[in-house]
């Protein structure tokens, strides 16, 4: 009953469409009535009666407001006016961008038409929330009203993927991505699938994401209260697995993390995995680049490695030699390519045909330079190494910590893990439950101007993930440096604080001029969201994370980490 009442009471007139600036179906100005005020992002509604008697409801959003003295001619008139000498009127006008016409007859409102604030159900209609069946809470408007995303455009039903841009540090891209995950898992929007939906998060910077399963001790009551209108209970992520690379030089492969030691498992690949799953190309960022001669060698060596017999405990048998470390494998490969006795000549099965010594040397050089960075990630020198196979299914959220790895190792891990996730999904043959992937610094993995196996995987995810049920929540500082197809395939675009020079680029065409300017001054925690349903991007603020984003925030009763040894690792 209360809801029905809200709809029947139309709010009072806040202004009227002005007639000295053109009113168009794409934007128009509204003079604000004295005693009323409109602010940016306010949602308004008005009616236009057609000659036939039909009423068109026009809904829109305030994107700019101006105030001026009418009756003043000179700048200095303001002093006369404020001293009570020159009569003038203060006049305010708001620029409105229509979000919806109902029914969809696209015509301008007429000058003089009264404009009202769209509240409650009318606001939902204005922002097209009324036709969204599965609403994903995405944050709050500045009036603390919930803003929703249409899950149909995320889970692949009508569209998929989310792309987030913004300056590091102030754009809070990762926080927003984790908030969306939390919202997806706890708001009930996924229904029964929520339990089986999995998320894979790459932790690329700091240790921000290693404490997702801890309550945030810095969460104040007023911050926690902001979850309420969204229909979410604040709390930590429930089922989190943390994977970290093994400590370098540690024979037991204990995970290398700074502040967190409990509940972290190491991840690495056995030498057998490396050979059998064709992982070699992932060591070469530009292996697919046709112009590079040595890619022939990469392909030849990959094919040869695949044929090596495996021992069962993760090692391979390389011409009778049992190889358990990456270093030993590289030495063996090098021996094949560059024989000790130059008279012997290189094995053409390993080098590829008609490949010059220079090309082979280029390959060997590149391979050797990768050794230092990945040798701790590819090993079979531990007893149960075969059991360390990457398991993306045992936890709802799997965080893979790569922040301490060298760029080459990062690319290797991301490429290999994504391939594995992709292959598993492809093999399962069902898009549901979803596999969500959160990856920051997309510009590193899918740069605009080059080609690599990692980029190919990301393109596969971007273009086929929608039907396979792999949803990429990608982020980058600058969308202009990321492969166009990866960004273009994202149905939902999100922008945090942008660099002013970056904001002028075409990649942000979904932001109209005023929003683009505002994007350069967004404060942390505020994002613009562009979604296919709405022609105008929405500004949202998402609540302070209710999970720890750094060790100092981590709060847990059974947390032994509280007395971390400050000398650890020295």
Partner 1 sequence: MSFFVETWDPSYGSPIEINELDSASESVKVDAEVAVEKWKPISVPAVNLRSSIIFIDGVRRFDAHIWFEDEGHPHRGICATVGAGSVRCTATKAEVEHTRIERAVHTSAVGIADIELPRFGETYKFKATKDDSSEALNMSVQNHMARLEDLISAECEDEELVVFDGPLQQRELACGVGYVKSQHVQYLPDDVVPVLGKLKPGERTPLIDIEGRFLRWSWFLRLADVGSVASSIVRLELPRSLSIEAAVERANYVSALLPRYASMAHKESRAPQNLYPISGLERQLRRRLGSRDLLERGLRLASA
Contact positions toward partner 1, by CB under 8 A?
A: 71, 73-74, 77, 80-89
Least Å from the CB of residue 34 to partner 1:
11
- Residue 18 CB, shortest distance to partner 1, in Å, is 15
- Please, what is the minimum distance in Å from the beta carbon of residue 86 to partner 1? 5
Cα–Cα–Cα angle for 231, 234, 236, nearest 5°? 135
Give the nearer residue to partner 1 in terms of CB position, either 82 or 131.
82
Task: Kindly tell me which of 83 and 506 has the beta carbon lying closer to partner 1.
Answer: 83
Q: CB nearer to partner 1: give 70 or 568.
A: 70
Sequence-distant (6+) residues with CB within 8 A of 562 are: none
- DSSP 3-state of 562: helix
Q: Which is nearer to partner 1, 81 or 514 (CB)?
A: 81
SS3 334: helix
Alpha-carbon 65 to chain mean position: 32
Nearer to partner 1, 16 or 173 (CB): 16
CB closer to partner 1 out of 77 and 559: 77
Q: Report how far residue 513's alpha carbon sits from residue 58's, in angstroms, rounded to the nearest whole number.
A: 22
Q: Hey, what's the torsion of the CAs at 308, 311, 314, 316, to 10 degrees?
A: -30
Distance CA 131, CA 122 (A): 12
Gyration radius from the chain CA atoms: 29
Q: In sequence order, what DSSP letters do the residues of 265-292 get, joined into one string?
A: EE--B-HHHHHHTT-GGGG-TTTT-TT-
For residues 35 and 566, which CB has a smaller minimum distance to partner 1 in the complex? Answer: 35
Q: Whole-number minimum distance, CB 12 to partner 1, in Å?
A: 24
Question: Taking phi first (over 0 means left), then psi (-120 to 50 degrees means alpha), and beta for anything else, what does residue 274 get?
Answer: alpha
> CB 3 → partner 1: shortest distance, Å?
42
Q: Which is nearer to partner 1, 91 or 556 (CB)?
A: 91
Which residues neighbour 17 within 8 Å (Cβ) at sequence distance 6 or greater?
23, 28, 29, 30, 31, 46, 109, 110, 111, 112, 113, 115
Kindly state the smallest distance separating residue 85's Cβ from partner 1, in Å.
5
Q: What is the closest distance, in whole angstroms, from the C-beta atom of residue 511 to partner 1 in the complex? A: 38
Q: How many CB atoms lie within 10 A of CB 276?
A: 15
Nearer to partner 1, 74 or 567 (CB): 74
Collapse the DSSP code of 453 into the 3-class scheme (helix H, G, I; strand E, B; otherwise coil) and give the result. Answer: helix
3-state secondary structure of 472: strand
- The residue among 40 and 88 lying less far from partner 1, judged by its C-beta, is 88
The four Cα atoms 75, 77, 78, 84 give a dihedral, to 10 degrees, of 180
Give 3-state DSSP helix, strand, coil % of the chain, rounded to 5. Answer: 35, 25, 45
Whether residue 567 contacts residue 166, with contact meaning beta carbons closer than 8 Å, is answered with no
Q: Cβ of residue 51: shortest distance to partner 1, in angstroms? A: 17
Q: Tell me the closest approach of the beta carbon of residue 155 to partner 1, in angstroms.
A: 58
Name the residue nearer to partner 1 (CB basis): 20 or 340: 20
CB of 53 to partner 1, least distance (A): 23
Which residues, in sequence order, are bridge partners of residue 160?
Answer: 155
CB of 72 to partner 1, least distance (A): 8
First-to-last alpha carbon distance for the chain, in angstroms, is 67
Cα–Cα distances (Å) from 163 to 212, 485, 490, 510, 563, in that order, read: 21, 12, 6, 13, 38
């Amino acid at each position: 009953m209360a809801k029905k009442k809200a709809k029947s009471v139309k709010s009072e007139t806040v202004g009227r469409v002005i007639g000295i600036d053109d009113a168009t179906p794409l934007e128009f100005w509204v003079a604000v009535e004295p005693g009323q005020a409109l602010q940016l992002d306010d949602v308004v509604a008005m009616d236009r009666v057609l000659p036939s008697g039909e009423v068109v409801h026009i809904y829109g959003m305030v994107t700019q407001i101006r105030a001026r003295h009418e009756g003043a001619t000179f700048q200095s008139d303001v002093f006369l006016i404020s001293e009570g000498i020159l009569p003038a009127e203060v006049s305010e006008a708001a620029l409105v961008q229509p979000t919806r016409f109902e029914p969809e007859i696209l015509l301008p409102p007429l000058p003089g038409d009264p404009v009202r604030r769209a509240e409650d159900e009318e606001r939902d209609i204005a922002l097209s929330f009324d036709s969204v069946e599965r609403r994903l809470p995405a944050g709050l408007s500045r009036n603390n009203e919930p803003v929703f995303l249409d899950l149909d455009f995320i889970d692949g039903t009508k569209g998929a993927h989310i792309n987030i841009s913004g300056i590091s540090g102030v754009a809070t891209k990762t926080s927003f991505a984790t908030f969306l995950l939390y919202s997806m898992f706890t708001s009930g929007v996924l229904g029964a699938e929520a339990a089986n939906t999995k998320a894979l998060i790459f932790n690329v910077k700091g240790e921000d994401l290693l404490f997702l399963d801890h309550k945030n001790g810095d969460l104040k009551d007023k911050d926690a209260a902001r979850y309420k209108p969204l229909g979410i209970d604040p709390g930590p992520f429930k089922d989190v697995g943390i994977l970290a690379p093994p400590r370098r030089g540690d024979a037991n492969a204990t995970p290398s993390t700074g502040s967190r030691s409990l509940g972290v498992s190491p991840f690495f690949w056995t030498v057998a995995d490396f050979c059998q799953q064709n992982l070699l190309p992932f060591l070469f960022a530009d292996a697919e680049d046709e112009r590079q001669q040595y890619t022939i060698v990469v392909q030849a060596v990959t094919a040869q490695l695949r044929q090596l017999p495996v021992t069962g405990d993760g090692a391979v048998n390389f011409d009778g030699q049992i190889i358990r470390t990456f270093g030993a494998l590289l030495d063996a490969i090098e021996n094949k390519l560059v024989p000790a006795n130059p008279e012997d000549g290189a094995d053409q099965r390993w080098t590829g045909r008609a490949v010059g010594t220079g090309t082979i040397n280029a390959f060997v050089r590149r391979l050797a330079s990768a050794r230092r960075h990945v040798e701790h990630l590819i090993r079979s020198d531990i007893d149960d190494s075969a059991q360390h196979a990457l398991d993306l299914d045992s936890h709802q959220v799997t965080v893979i910590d790569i922040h301490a790895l060298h760029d080459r190792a990062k690319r290797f891990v991301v490429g290999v893990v994504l391939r594995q996730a992709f292959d598993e999904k492809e093999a399962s043959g069902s898009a549901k439950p979803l596999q969500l992937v959160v990856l920051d610094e997309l510009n590193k993995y899918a740069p605009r101007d080059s080609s690599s196996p990692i980029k190919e995987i990301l393109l596969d995810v971007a273009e086929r993930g929608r039907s396979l049920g792999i949803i990429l929540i990608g982020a980058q500082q600058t969308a202009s440096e990321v492969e166009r197809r990866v960004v273009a395939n994202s149905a939902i675009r999100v922008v945090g604080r942008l660099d002013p020079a970056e904001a002028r680029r075409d990649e942000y065409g979904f932001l109209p001029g005023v929003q683009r300017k505002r994007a350069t001054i967004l404060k942390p925690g505020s994002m613009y969201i562009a979604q296919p349903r709405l022609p105008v991007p929405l500004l949202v603020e998402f609540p302070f994370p209710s999970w720890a984003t750094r060790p100092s925030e981590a709060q847990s009763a059974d947390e032994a980490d509280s007395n971390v040894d400050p000398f650890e690792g020295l």
